[in-house]
Amino acid sequence: MSSIADNIRNVRQRIQKATLAAGRPADSVHLLAVSKTRSADEIRTAAAEGLTRFGESYVKEALEKVQALQDLKGLEWHFIGPLQSNKTRPVAEHFEWVHSVDRAKVADRLNDQRPADMPPLNICIQVNIDGEDTKSGTTLTMVESLANHIGSLPRLRLRGLMAIPNPDQSAEQLRQRFATLRQTLETLREQHPDWTTLDTLSMGMSDDLESAVTEGATIVRIGTALFGARPKPAKTSCETMEHNP
């Protein structure tokens, strides 16, 4: 069985190879370790190998790990799961990034609850790139409106877009979805040249990171390829899983 350290090296090599093949700078893609359902000890092991960005989807579980790992300096916590408006406060208070904002109400609450002594919270708009009824995310047609709203909130910093395409597609179809997200971000940049922080495409997971990097991903969210098969969490009525990154 491969160790977490071995897996990290393999994923880094995949990212490096894909980045080189795409003709992109070596440092243009960041690895976000999806640590939801993983233990604090597993995160410590990954951090010892130089990983600093960790993605969580369940608020209670995430806060326990943030507390348990507060002795590790330089960790950056990203919330990547569906976020209900009644759980925004702890995310606003303890995270550096939220990748999954898909409506104005959630953005407003994150803005209002972000402590004044902390930097603005980095935000990605989650886009339902396949138009699936059961998946979180705003529609492509609503991206500009939501972006304008987030851009008006002083305690938030709009960084870009995030998507989780349906994995049951061909490699070419996945590339088309990633390309659509990239083109949507490019359109936002053209419409808002003064928004200099629009630099992020959060897309690509364990099985499709190469396609995502080819189409411009700047953050790839990797879980299974780093930590192995994910154990099933104890679900609640309020927190449901999307497919594994």
Q: What letter does residue 243 receive in the DSSP assignment?
A: -
In this prediction, residue 242 carries a pLDDT of: 42
DSSP alpha helix (H) spans, the chain? 4-21, 40-48, 59-68, 88-94, 104-113, 143-151, 171-191, 209-214, 224-227
Please state, in angstroms and rounded to a whole number, the distance separating the CA atoms of residues 226 and 11: 7
Give the N- to C-terminal CA distance of the chain in Å, as an integer: 20
Helices 143-151 and 104-113 sit at what angle, rounded to 10 degrees?
20
- Distance (Å, whole) CA 217 – CA 245: 14
Topology of 4-227 in CATH? Answer: TIM Barrel (3.20.20)
Alpha-carbon torsion (15, 198, 161, 121), positive or negative: positive
pLDDT for 131:
84
**CA–CA dist 60, 71 (Å, integer):** 19
Whole-model pTM above 0.75?
Answer: yes
Q: What is the pLDDT along the chain (245 residues), one digit of tens a residue?
A: 579 999 999 999 999 999 999 999 989 999 999 999 999 999 999 999 999 999 999 999 999 999 999 999 999 999 999 999 999 999 999 999 999 999 999 999 999 999 999 999 999 999 999 988 878 899 999 999 999 999 999 999 999 999 999 988 898 999 999 999 999 999 999 999 999 999 999 999 999 999 999 999 999 999 999 999 876 655 544 444 344 45
pLDDT of residue 241: 39
Query: Any bridge partners for residue 53, and if so which?
Result: 76
Q: Which residue has the tokens 């349906």?
A: 166
Give the single-character DSSP code of 206: T
The C-alpha angle 163, 2, 28, rounded to 5 degrees, equals: 40
| DSSP letter string, 132-149 | -TTS--B-GGGHHHHHHH
Q: Where do the structural domains in the chain lie, given as residue ranges?
A: 4-227
The predicted structure's pLDDT at residue 245: 59
Q: Helix and strand tally (H, E) in the chain?
A: 9, 8
Q: Work out the number of other CB atoms within 10 angstroms of the CB of residue 102.
A: 22
